Structure 1
Amino acid sequence: MADRESIGTDIIDLVGNTPMVYLNKVSKGCKGKVAIKLEYYNPACSIKDRISKSMILEAEKSGKINPEKNVLVEVTSGNTGIGLAAMAAAKGYKLVIVMPSSCSSERVKDFGFLLVKKFNFL
C-alpha cells in the first residue's frame, strides 16, 4: 500500500506500515525522544501479523503451499496463532491451531479455524 489512505485488496495489504508516536511525557527532561510503534494497528492487533504474513507469502512464493491443496497447522499459545489465523483466512487456507488447555480461546473464535485445545504440554 502506498499510504494510510489506500484501500487494501484484503487484510494482508494492511499488515505493517503501522504508525509511530512520540511519548513526550515519558521523555520530558531527557536529551532524547522516546517513540513507540503501534503494532496493534495491524489487522489482528499484533506484531505477529507480520510474521504470519511473511510465512504464508514466502511458502506460497516457493511453491510449498497453496490454499487448494494444503491445510496449515500451528502449535501456539497465543498471538502467532491469531495472526496466522487472520492471514490464512484472508488467503483462503484451512487452519488447525493446537493450543495448550491453559490458553484462553476468546480471541480465536472469530477467525474461522479448527481449534484443538485440551492439550497439555510437558
Structure 2
Amino acid sequence: MQQLRTGDIIALGFMTFALFIGAGNIIFPPIVAQQAGDHVWLAAIGFLITAVGLPVITIMALSRMQGSIEIISSPLGRIASLILTVVCYLSVGPLFATPRTATVSYEIGFSSY
C-alpha cells in the first residue's frame, strides 16, 4: 500500500466533501421534508439511503479495488465494461448535469425578462 502525501489527503478531503455536500444536498432536503408532510421520517430515511448510503458504498467499493473501475468491471468483460463505463459517464454529465445547469441558468437569468 502506498503512502499518501499531504496534498493528496487534502484533495481527497475536498472531493469527499463535495460528494456529500453538493448544492442538491443543501437545497433538496428541506423541499423533500416540506412536501412529505406527515411522512417526513420516511422521506428522511430515503434521502439518507440515496444521498449518503450509496456514495459511502461507492467509496468503499472503489477503495477495496484500489480505485480502479477496470478492476470492478472486469468480470463483465472488456467490451461490456467499456460500454457500461461510457453509459455511466454520459448519464451523469452530458445527459443530466449539463441540461440541468443550463435550465437553472436560463430560469434565473433570462426567463424573468
- Classify the TM-score, shorter chain: under 0.3
TM-score, length-scaled by structure 1: 0.25
Larger radius of gyration: 2
Counting helix residues as a fraction of each chain, which structure ranks higher? Answer: 2
Q: Which one scores higher on RCO, CA 8 angstroms, separation ≥ 6?
A: 1
TM-score, length-scaled by structure 2: 0.27
Counting strand residues as a fraction of each chain, which structure ranks higher? Answer: 1
